[in-house]
Amino acid sequence: MLLLTGSTTCKKATDPASANSIQEFESRLDDLRKVANIRGMVGGIIKNGQVIWVKNYGYADKQKNIAVSNSTYI
């Protein structure tokens, strides 16, 4: 398993951590991905050693219109 992490400075209005719902969190995370020009990524939350949320964003290959999946190598 490969785990990539990163951080960025963003305004509070678009900060995923300040979202009030999972839908708002997902939307803000995707907006942050687009602003940072990240072609594709997988976001996840781990709590107490358990994966509690995973979502794929963007493209593994934009030219071929292939979306990122859980098996995409990033």
CA distance linking residue 46 with residue 49, whole number of Å: 6
User: Which residues have a Cβ under 8 Å from the Cβ of 57 and sit 6 or more positions away?
Assistant: 29, 30, 33, 38, 40, 41, 42, 43, 68
- Mean pLDDT over 37-66 rounds to 94
The pTM is what? 0.71
Q: Where are the domains of the chain?
A: 17-67
| φ and ψ at residue 2, rounded to 5 degrees | -115, 125
pLDDT band at 14 (very low <50, low <70, confident <90, very high): low
State yes or no: pLDDT of 2 exceeds 50: no
Strand ranges (DSSP E) for 1-74?
Answer: 40-47, 50-61, 66-67
